[in-house]
Structures are given as structure tokens and as C-alpha cells.
Structure 1
Amino acid sequence: MRTRVRIPSVHHGFCTVCSPSAQRARRSHGPPCVRLFHYIGNPTVRRVARRHVDALAPIEDQVAMTDAAPTIYAAIPFTALVLLVALVAAVAVRSHLTGRGITPGMILWPLPFAALLGFVGVWCAMGLVMDTCSAADLVAYSVAVGGCGAITLARRRVFHRIDELAGVASHLLRAGRDAVLLVLAAALSVAALEGSWNRVGAQIPVSFILFAVGVVLAAMVALYFLGQRTGVLPCLVAFACIAFGIASHFVLRFKSAAILPSDLLAIGTAAAVSGNYTYELSRHIIFALALFALALCLLSFIHPGRPRNRRVLGANIAGNLCACGLVVAGALGLYNSVDVEEALDFTYDVWMPQFTYMQKGVIPSFLAVLQDLPIEESEGYDADEAQDIEDAYVQSFDLTAGATEARLAAEAQFNEMKPAVVAIMNESFSDLSIYEGLRAAGYTGPAFYNSLGDTLQRGALMSSVVGGGTCNTEFEFLTGNSMAFVGSGKYPYQLYDFSDVSNLAQQFDELGYKTTAIHPQLGSNWNRSNVYNQMGFDTFLTIDDFPDATWYHYGPSDRTCYDRILQMLREDPDPQFIFNVTMQNHGGYDAGTVLEEDLLGIAPEGITDPDTLSSLNTYLACIQASDRDLEYFINELRTIGRPVVLVFFGDHQPSVGPTLNEALYPGEDAFSHSWREFVSTYIIWANYDVAGNDQVSAWDELGANALGAQLLYDIGAPLSDQQKATLATRASVTSLNALGYRGADGICQALDANSFYSSTIDDLRKMQYLNFAEKVQ
């Protein structure tokens, strides 16, 4: 069990070192105690803190929006493509005419280089190459890539010269050549990986670069032997590096994030919404592609030579496969036995991993996160003790909140009435009027939503994600578990089997309810098709069930979902639990994705960047549309003729939220500054008089993990022991998320803070390990 020491922060140019207790924290217990550089967003930027990271330069151009290079520049790579094709054709014809024949490699090896030239040419012709890439840059790229393709035509002559050598000399020469080329190709692949997205990659410490090259080299060597000592399969490693680097560039640009291991499991979801964004190639990507081409060129010259006879061929195949197995076994053994962070003496930033990726490199950082994926067992954990802790909280609940007249009256009413329960998790819905600068600019939040005065309760909802990661709020709401004790950088929907995990769908099913999940997008997003089935939902309606949907912004409108829900409630009088994850407000918030007349024209003082203002007002237009649709929905529910309970909440703030936070609240203490970004909102409402509740919109801040339990408590529905324990702990810890918690004294604390409530946090951690981790690991 390691002790993690946090990096000191920079505040107004001076070092702010945390207390010793704050320095010692385990990764899964909370965020870093400092913000080391301003949030990188689109189009705003963070600047790297100077005092403790002098090696890093400002990166304000990292994600800045630019104009496109002139489309006429496409002629440059296209010309190189034509010349390369002509050269290959000429060499092939000459080889045929001279009787040497045309080998497959003569045609196939130049193809990747032709594809690289054509790719950049097409992107440039579509206006998707940034104007930071000059004509000279494209000339250099075209010469380099075209030249590499041309050089591969010399392979045959080189191989022939080596084959002419006899005995041991030829074997030694091939082995030495292959070793050198693999090392160089691995180094070039790492350079392409970092160069395509990391503007300060040149300042990564040498030890981290060598580690990354070693990892890539190990992968290349394994595929080298698997491919029978040719350079073909190692090319896949080089391709993976450049692809990961380019993907990192766009994820940083659009999501202000780094690619984490669990993101790879969510690649289907990412692909489904990828059409929302514009993919422009930067100058750095162009140069990285040239490095990738050089790596391919080197690998093309790896060839085992001609076998003397079949017996030698068979022995070579067996030996190569054994060598591949040994390399893979050795690499896996090292991965499982060596802690990357301890070996390289660093700690990755759990809340801004992109900072660590920039400072230490993608491969060391990625592997460090990967090694932390298992849910960490709390120190001194014992299942029997955890059960005793939960039992004690359950008993406390049963004697207090569970025994009030209001609760008993609500229970009796629920058992008799069995109201329909509708849960709306509204994509990116939040009230940005919590930012004083927006209020000063005239924005007061969603009007109808804020005017509702007859809810059972309402308040701030503490999410564990911001700008993305919808499924984690969904996970917290449906299961009652908190991301605080799962760990940073994880998406439980992608990692675990929920068949044995208690959840709201299962609970309502046991009460005789029909259970339906609705998400007007692909069912594969966030693995929902599998997860909902494991949770026990009877029906899952996806985009295929909305062929005539009315779209707004980037998805079927909220009203489209609400009309389907109203139809279900009117056509089926049986008790129903309906969980709807909406889609219309999904990012990005590009100009032109909403009607011009819907834009509010909000311009907070201190926000001058036109792209930020455009994204902000596009987002606010989406929220205004959601507010109109919610008003329609609630008005319909008021007269629907059957009892219905509605819980409505936003999953997280939009990606523009952190940008506003940085601009409007400079110089704040780090934790309070971060806390604001994770504030969403919720209401619990009913169209009938709920026994024991005045329905005057009492305000209460909740963590998303407690919202489901609070919903069931308010309407008198049965509670599980886990839910009772969760509600009982709110006497001391009123709200909880992956960032920290708010104690009963009203003060927000980091999860690892040494406070009066630390014992309650430890109890919550142990109970969640009992109820969740033990069931999924």
C-alpha cells in the first residue's frame, strides 16, 4: 500500500505546500489538493504552473481554434502521391521487362505512404488542415513521406546483397540490422505518439522516454517473432502509437481530458457521438505522420531471408513462436510485478491526468492508470465488520427517520397507490446561474425549472463528473454507489457485471413494476444494452425506437422522449418505473447547431473569446429548450389521471463550465474552485399529494449516489439496507461525490481530509466495498 505525496500548487506565483496529512492520500480517495494548471478547454487554455514544472512551457496554442489552410495546398501531397505512384509503376515495369519479376512487396510496401499522402491531401481539400500548417510544412511532409515510399523500392536489392553472404555472417548481419531498425522504429513511434498532441513532449524526462521506447520495443519484438522475423506486424505497433496520439489530440481539444484505459472500452460510445465534432489536422499531427512514415520505412527493411530447406523453415517457425511467447510472458511478468509509478518515481494527477500525460508521457501515465483499475480494498477491511457497520446504520435509520409519522404515512400511501415513477437524467442539464458572472450578465437559469414551488424537494446534486462521463452519474443514481470509492478514471458500466448488484430497476421489479430504460441513441453506448439487461430492466428503448423523432441540437429532443413516456403511462395502467437518459444537450456546442433566434446573447464580463461565448450561448439555448419541454411534460403529468412521481436531474455540467470557472473565479483555493464545477441540480416532484410531505420545494444538497434512496424515502417506497445506511450517514455527511464531501457543519472536505467526519467516510467506503466491489470483482 503506497503513500502518495501530492505536488505543491502554484498560487499567484508562489508555492503553496499542503499540510502533511493532505499530502498523504490514496488515489481513489479524492482529487489532487491543487490545480497545477488552468483547465484546457475548447477554445480556452490552462497555463502550466511554473514553480514546480519549469520544464513545461505555456500551452495556450494547444487547443486554440484556428482557420483552415488554403485548400489549394492539397495539390502538394497529391502531387507527391502521383509521383510516388508513377515511380512504383516505372520500377515494376522495369523489373518485369528485365525478367526479375514483380514481387508483392514492391507494390504493397509503398501503399501506406501513398495512403498517408492521400489522407492529408483529402483533409486539406476539405479545409480540415489548420492554417498553422504552411505550404513549406506540407512540402516537407510530402517529400519525407513520398521519399520513404520510394526508398522501400530498394528493399529487394538490399535483401539480395545480404543473401549473397554465406553462413554466420549473413545471420549476424540480419540480426544486427533487425535490432537496430526495431529500436529506431520504436523511438520514432514514441516520438510520433507524443509529437502529435503534446506540445511540451520534448521536455519529458529521458528516463520516461526510455521506458516508453522499451514498452513499444517489447511489443514490436513480440510481433516481430510472431510474424516470423518480418517487419510487417511491428508496423501495427507504430500505427497504434500514431493513432493513439492523434486521438489524444482530439480528446484533449474537445473534452479537455486524457485517454484513460477505461476509455478504450467506451470506444463504441465515442464513435457514436464523434460526428458532433470537427477534426482538423494540426501542424504537429502532420509532422507526427511523417515520423510514422519513417518508422514504417525502417520496418520495411526487416526480412528474414530465404530459408535453405523445409526443415530449417519448420524449425524457424517453431523457434520464432517460442521467442514470441517468451517476450510476451516476460513483459506481462514485469507489468504484474513492477509498479510503474514507484519504478519511475512519479504520481499521476488523478483529476487532471492530461497534466501527467504531458509531463511524463502517454505510455508511463497510461500504464500507471491501468495498474490502478482494480477497486482498492480499504485498509483493514473485513466483510463481517462491514456488515456490522451497515446493520448499525440500518438500526439507527429504523429508529429515527424510518419511524417518523410522515414516513409511515407515506409508506401506507405507497403500498396502496403504487404510483408510476419516472426518472429523467437530462444530458448536461445544469443551472449555470450558480456562476455569479452569468447572473451579472442577465442569466437567471432555466425559468420554469427554477419556478417550480410544489416539489417534494429540490437542490444541488453533486456529480462525480464534469463535461462528460454521463454513465458514472447514471451508475451512482441507479445503484446507490459512489464513484468516490470506485476510483478515478473508471467507467463501471464498461468494467463490471451488474447481475448481482442491487439497483432501482431490480427493486421496482420486485414490487411488481414494469421497468423500462430509454436512451434515444445507440444501445451500445456505455455498454447500456448489457448493463440494463444485467440490472433487470424489462425493456430498453434506443434510437431504433424513435424513427420519427424531432431533433434538437445533437439528438432527439427531450419532448420526443417525454411524448413516448406519456404514451406509455396512458396506455398501460400498471405500475411502471421508467428511466430516461436524454440526448439533445450533448456536446459539443458548435455554432450553428441551434436556431439563431434561440441564442440568448449572454456575454459575462471577463469572457472575451468568441468561441467560448458561442459555445456558452449554444449550451444555454439547449437548456432553454429543455426547460420548455420540461414545462410541457409536467403540465401533461398534472392532468394525466394517474399518480406519477418524477425525479429530474442533470448528469453533469457541460465542458464549458470549467472554462467559465477558470475565467470568473481566478485565485480561489483549489478545492472550493473544483467543487463548483461538479454542481448539478435535481427535483423530486409528484402530481398528487404525497402523505407526510408539504411539497413546498424544500432544498437539500445530495450526492448522486443518495438521490435514488431519497426518492424512495420521500414517496414511502421500501428501502434496501444499503439505502437505509446511506440515508443514515447523511446525518454527518450530507453529500458525497468523487471530489469530496460536505459535512453536517456545511464545510466541504476532500475525501482524504482528516476531519470529524473521517470515520463516516471510512464506514461508507467499507459498506460500498461489501455491497459493490465484492460482487463485481
Structure 2
Amino acid sequence: MEWKEMDKKRRGILLTVMLLTPVTAFYLMQLIMGTKFVDVKLMAVAANGLWLAGVYWLLCSFTGYPVMSSLVVHLLSALWGMANYFVNLFRGTPILPWDFSALETAAAVSGSYKLSLTKDMYLWLGVLLVAAILLRKYLTWGKFRPTGKTIMPRVAGVVAGLSLMFIFAQPAVLEEMKVGAYTWQQMVGYCTDGALSAFFDNTKYMEVEQPTNATIDDVKYVLSQVEDAQGEGLTFHVEGPADQQGGTQTGEKYNVIAIMNESWADFESYGNLSLSESVMDYIKSLDNAVFGHAYSSVFGAGTSACEFEFLTGNSMAFLPSGSAPYQQYITQETPSMASLLGDLGYRTLAFHPGEVKSWNRDKAYPLLGFDEMKFRQDLDVPELIEHAYPSDYTDFQQIIWEFEHKEAGEPLFLFNVTYQNHGGYDQPDYPTEVTLTDCPGQYPRAEQYLTLANKTDEYFKELVDYFSTYEEPTIIVMFGDHPPSLEQEFLDKAYGVAQADMTMEQYMAKFQVPFVIWSNRPLEAEDAPQETSLNFLGQYLLEYAGIETDLYGKFLQEVEEQLPVFTSVGYIDTQGKAYSHWETTQYEQLLKDYQLLQYDRLFGISDVT
């Protein structure tokens, strides 16, 4: 039926559908995501709506069915809103452009998460269903095959649709409209500025912007200042078990084991929980050990960012929020703890009992200086499953196997990323052994997680027992990568404050993870850090092992002297005051120097760092 053949009522209904589709599809996307209607910017309606109009015109022109195309646009918008809600729920950030380089990793763990629709989702999907029912007799209105009269308008519709989609996906256009991403609080931007416009605006961060005045001379000048400062005695001043020649007082080199334990957190440290049993009592009672807390740059997910910070000393603060460094930035040989120790004669091994291609580790590890890699398929010990993943028992037994089979006297650096404690925490057949005594069963995900953390404590004891009698000097650090994503009500209870009411110090503290450093040789811990961040933790490990760091590591020591904690969330000075990256502070030049040297390490301005 042609337009001129319709009655007035039908024309009015179809015209209303065609005009309102971009706006209603946009609000459906936002409301399903949990956004409040009043929080959406007016310009966000325009920017997102015009892009959706492009999609709608494209579908209408291709199919010839305007009402059916409207339904499809609404469904796609709803799915995009739901996807961003769930991704943000599990890891603390919505979908970002660079996530599509980690689809294999996402697919590998997606089966362990349980998705439950929210009340908002049920409500607005119900509204969409009702609208579809009311318009059902119009769904088939149209004609797929164009006629002589309609072919040119439909071609014009395709061109117009593609043009709108292109124009309103450009960050420069969005900037003019004052709509875009909030890099430090991505979900806020997705809610207020639209989940489409914020996503597109993030594409401008796909490449790291070069610091101003980034020249070889600038790099050399900063490093010369580091050398001068080192001559004045600036360092961590840690009294470790070794001299500064890379070994013990007798000249033996330490074996170095670094265990990054998946989602390992210390919720008891905030003092607000009453548990049926402590989940970290053994580790906290260890003799000859250093226990403290490190701050992570991510929450709930983003493991590769954490190992990147630990191994390289680089900070996610100078990279786009939510980016995946192994996929995006480790594309050439990059200095790290592995390459440093390799140059000192260490055998370097990376081990993760997970999938080979997860986070692109199989490509990144060799570029970071690892001689060997082992994954789940390479296990030499029986695999014990704990909560759907290889257990920490299996993981630690593989570490022991490596030392039982290594050549005597050969120093080994083993970097390990565990898998046991990975989310989600709603396995129906996994027995809960640790409960909250004042509200047992109220937070099942949290109690399942705490049970897993208790297993880690138990299995770590077996690892320490083994190395306590191991002949060669060995030092072990175990630290968490990021806190787990659990029930928000439980997190508020653990922290003692709702997230909306947190100070900057409290907000940064929610990113804390524990660390423990232990050695089978005497370990003096008088000046040990109680708080640090993952980008500095590796330098402490080297210091305790008596291994002299490189010039970049010495620069990190200087930064740490002034800012003991530095993450993508913010930084903390020696007085315990926390700052966001939006603030202008007295540390601006120090941070510019850090950014410059990091850029050089990653992308190669010079060859001196």
C-alpha cells in the first residue's frame, strides 16, 4: 500500500512511529541501563537519537517495513543497554571500544556469570512488548522489493542513514555538542551522555596521546635528574635479606616467585564484618613476612591491566580507562621485570592455569621478556577444580613441580596468575563454608567468594611449607589483582559506607588488595610498606631480593617517595591525602615526568629507558 492510498489514521500512526523511534529507542536503552530520566542531557538525546535515526533510516530503506524496522531498532537499543549494565555490574565499567579485542577472554569466563534481569528491564521490555502488540497489524505494512517510484527515495534513505551514523559517531562532533565519555567514571558518562555517544567518544582514546614536548632530550633530562637524585641517596631504604648484587650475602641469586591471585581481597581489613572464620589468618600470622595492601587501578575485572602494572611499573593512569594493555600496547619488545631478570641470567617463566589466548598473554609474555609460558593445557600435576576453575592447590602444586624439576643453581623467575577465585560467585553446587555471622545467607555471592579466599589461605600454607625446607634462597610475593564484584549491599557493609557517600580516600580504599612477601631467608621488615600500589610493588620485591633495578625503576622509587600510591583512580601522598586526576596539585611536574618515561618505555621515543 502506497502512502497516498492510506487513510488519515494510518498515516498519523506511521508518521508518529517514524518520528518518535530514534527518541524512544534512546530512552529505552538508557532506562534499561538504570539511568534516571532526569539525568540525561538534552544534547545527549539529540546526539544519540540522530545516530539511531541513521540506523532506523537504513533499516527502513533496506527492508521497506518502517514499523518492523522500528521494533528492531528498539530491540537493538535495549540489548545495548542491557549489555552495558551487566558488563558494568561485573567489572565496574561499561562496554568500551577496545573490549572487542578481548572477545575470546570474555567468552572463556562468561559461562561462570549468572545474569538476572532487573525490575527496570522487566518494566521497559514489557512496555516494548505492549507497543509491539498494539502495532502488530502495522508490522507487515510495507514492501521489500522497491518499485520505480520508491527506489530513489530508498537509495537516498540509505545514504542519509549512513551519513547520520558516520557523523554522530565522530568524537569531534560529539565534543562540539558537549557530549561524550567521562574517562575516570565511564558509567556516569554512559548514563548522562548516552551509551552510544560515550562509546563512540571513547574511540579517540584507542591510541595513546603522546605527551607534550616528548623528545629524546626530554627523556634524557628526566633520567639525568634521577641519576643525580640517586647519588643523594633517595631510595626505598628497605632492609632485605640480600646485598645489592642480585643475591644473598654469599652470592647466591634468589629464586623469585610472583603470584598474582585472581580477585584476592581483604574485606576483613575494614573492620566491619563478622565472619564465621577469618579467611586470611594464616597469611597474616606468617613469620618472616611482610603483609600490607596495594591499590589496584581496576575493580571487578581487568586482570591484564594489573599484571601489566606489576611487571612493568607502568601505570594505567596514563592509558585510556578500561583499556587492555596486552592487546593494545604490548606490540613490540617492552621492558619489564622479566626482561630485567632475564638479563641477569634468570630463567623466566609465566604460568596461568587458564586459556592460552586469554588477554592475548601468549603474544604479550614473550614481548615482555619471558622465555617460557605454561597454560592450563600444559599442567604437569593433577587438576583439582574449585568453583569451576583450576584451584589454587593445583596452581601452587605446579609451582612446586617447576622447582622440583629445574636445574640446580639456575635462578628462576616464575610469574603466576591464578584462576580459582574468578567470578561469578553463584555456582549452585559449590558449598559455602564461610558465612557472615550477623546475616548468614543474606549475601550468597559474598559468602561463596569468602569461602574461596579461605581456600587460598589454606593452600598458600602448603606452598610456604614446601619452600621453608627448599635449599635455594627463594622469595615469594602474592598479591591480589583487583577486588571481586559482589552484592553492592555487601560491599557497602564491608566498607562501612555507601559508595555515593564516600570521600576520595574511602573511594580509593575500595580498590585495595592484599600482598604478602615471604622468604626462606631472614627478611627484615622494619621499613616495609603498609600501603603501596601495584606499579610500585615490583620494585619492593626486587629490593628485598637484593636485585638492583634499572634507571626507570629508580625513578619509580622517587615517585613512591612522594606518592606511595598511584593508580588510574587517583593518588595518595605521604600524609594520606587522596587526589583525583582532575585536580591540579604540586605533583604535576612529577606526574608529567612519569607519563613521559612510561610513554618512552611503551612506544619508544628513545632507547635509554
Normalised TM-score (structure 1): 0.66
Counterpart-to-counterpart distance in 2, 1:714 and 1:390: 24
Q: Look up the equivalent residue of 2:485 and give its one-letter code.
A: S
Q: Which residue of 1 aligns with 2:174?
A: 340
Give SS of 2:349's match: strand
Q: Which residue of 2 aligns with 1:565?
A: 399
Given the alignment of the two structures, is residue 765 of structure 1 paired with residue 600 of structure 2, yes or no?
no
CA contact (8 A) 1:192 1:288 kept: no
Q: Which residue of 2 aligns with 1:505?
A: 338
Q: Which residue of 2 aligns with 1:137?
A: none
Counterpart-to-counterpart distance in 2, 1:213 and 1:560: 52
Counterpart-to-counterpart distance in 2, 1:761 and 1:500: 24
Given the alignment of the two structures, is residue 242 of structure 1 paired with residue 242 of structure 2, yes or no?
no
Given the alignment of the two structures, is residue 430 of structure 1 paired with residue 265 of structure 2, yes or no?
yes
Counterpart-to-counterpart distance in 1, 2:399 and 2:91: 31
Q: CA deviation at 1:648?
A: 0.9
1:210-258 deviations in Å (ceiling 9; x for gaps) = 3212112224445666x58788999876654332222234335544543
Q: CA deviation at 1:491?
A: 2.5
- Higher gyration radius (CA): 1
Given the alignment of the two structures, is residue 709 of structure 1 paired with residue 529 of structure 2, yes or no?
no
Q: Which residue of 2 aligns with 1:628?
A: 458
Q: Which residue of 2 aligns with 1:287?
A: 126
Unaligned segments of structure 1, at least 5 residues: 1-157, 171-175
Q: Which residue of 1 aligns with 2:422?
A: 586
Q: CA deviation at 1:347?
A: 6.6
Given the alignment of the two structures, is residue 515 of structure 1 paired with residue 348 of structure 2, yes or no?
yes
Give SS of 2:445's match: helix
Equivalent of residue 728 in structure 1, options 536, 549, 558: 558
Equivalent of residue 532 in structure 1, options 354, 365, 369: 365
Gap change, CA 1:527 and 1:300, over 3 Å in 2 = farther
Counterpart-to-counterpart distance in 1, 2:220 and 2:228: 12
Q: Which residue of 2 aligns with 1:482?
A: 315
Which runs of structure 2 are paired with 1:318-717 in the superposition (5 Å)? 320=155, 328=162, 331-332=165-166, 335-336=169-170, 338-344=172-178, 348-378=181-211, 381-397=214-230, 400=233, 409-411=243-245, 413=247, 416-438=251-273, 446-455=280-289, 457-546=290-379, 548-573=382-407, 574-590=410-426, 592=428, 594-596=430-432, 598-603=433-438, 611-612=442-443, 614-656=444-486, 659-660=489-490, 662-663=492-493, 664-665=496-497, 670-689=503-522, 694=524, 698-717=528-547
- Identify the structure with the greater helix proportion: 1
Give SS of 1:410's match: coil
Q: Which residue of 2 aligns with 1:260?
A: 96
Gap change, CA 1:704 and 1:572, over 3 Å in 2 = same
Q: Look up the equivalent residue of 2:282 and give its one-letter code.
A: F
Counterpart-to-counterpart distance in 2, 1:551 and 1:405: 39
Counterpart-to-counterpart distance in 2, 1:723 and 1:405: 14
Q: CA deviation at 1:619?
A: 2.0
CA contact (8 A) 1:505 1:535 kept: yes
Q: Look up the equivalent residue of 1:190 and give its one-letter code.
A: F
Q: CA deviation at 1:445?
A: 5.2
CA contact (8 A) 1:181 1:298 kept: no
CA contact (8 A) 2:236 2:557 kept: no
Counterpart-to-counterpart distance in 1, 2:39 and 2:195: 13
Gap change, CA 1:304 and 1:466, over 3 Å in 2 = closer
Gap change, CA 1:205 and 1:753, over 3 Å in 2 = closer
CA contact (8 A) 2:276 2:436 kept: no
Q: Look up the equivalent residue of 2:36 and give its one-letter code.
A: V
Please, what is the CA RMSD of the aligned residues? 4.1
Q: Which residue of 2 aligns with 1:197?
A: 33
CA contact (8 A) 2:257 2:476 kept: yes
Aligned residues between the structures? 589
Q: Look up the equivalent residue of 1:644 and give its one-letter code.
A: T
Gap change, CA 1:205 and 1:465, over 3 Å in 2 = closer
CA contact (8 A) 1:558 1:629 kept: yes
1:383-440 deviations in Å (ceiling 9; x for gaps) = 52233113311342355257989788231536943332211000111222221212x6
Counterpart-to-counterpart distance in 2, 1:413 and 1:775: 33
Q: Look up the equivalent residue of 1:589 and give its one-letter code.
A: Y
CA contact (8 A) 1:195 1:284 kept: no
Q: Look up the equivalent residue of 2:187 and give its one-letter code.
A: Q
Q: Which residue of 2 aligns with 1:37?
A: none
Counterpart-to-counterpart distance in 1, 2:402 and 2:140: 61
1:349-404 deviations in Å (ceiling 9; x for gaps) = 54443334333432233233333444344455555223311331134235525798
Give SS of 2:561's match: coil
Gap change, CA 1:204 and 1:747, over 3 Å in 2 = closer
Q: Look up the equivalent residue of 1:419 and give its one-letter code.
A: Y
Give SS of 1:683's match: strand
Which runs of structure 2 are paired with 1:15-26 in the superposition (5 Å)? none
Equivalent of residue 278 in structure 1, options 114, 122, 132: 114
1:158-192 deviations in Å (ceiling 9; x for gaps) = 4xx68xx9xxx99xxxxx99998765554454354
Gap change, CA 1:665 and 1:198, over 3 Å in 2 = closer
Gap change, CA 1:549 and 1:501, over 3 Å in 2 = same
Give SS of 2:513's match: strand
Unaligned segments of structure 2, at least 5 residues: 7-11
CA contact (8 A) 1:501 1:771 kept: yes
Gap change, CA 1:302 and 1:770, over 3 Å in 2 = farther
Counterpart-to-counterpart distance in 2, 1:516 and 1:235: 53
Counterpart-to-counterpart distance in 1, 2:489 and 2:478: 26
Give SS of 1:266's match: helix
Q: Which residue of 2 aligns with 1:14?
A: none
Gap change, CA 1:443 and 1:235, over 3 Å in 2 = same
Q: Look up the equivalent residue of 1:641 and give its one-letter code.
A: E
Give SS of 2:247's match: helix
Give SS of 2:416's match: strand
Gap change, CA 1:623 and 1:276, over 3 Å in 2 = same
CA contact (8 A) 1:190 1:241 kept: yes
1:709-736 deviations in Å (ceiling 9; x for gaps) = 2222321324222112111222222221
Give SS of 1:490's match: coil
Equivalent of residue 575 in structure 2, options 742, 745, 767: 745
Q: Which residue of 2 aligns with 1:87?
A: none
Gap change, CA 1:316 and 1:376, over 3 Å in 2 = same
Gap change, CA 1:465 and 1:602, over 3 Å in 2 = farther
Counterpart-to-counterpart distance in 2, 1:330 and 1:577: 54
CA contact (8 A) 1:710 1:727 kept: no
CA contact (8 A) 2:171 2:180 kept: no
Give SS of 1:579's match: strand
CA contact (8 A) 1:658 1:677 kept: no
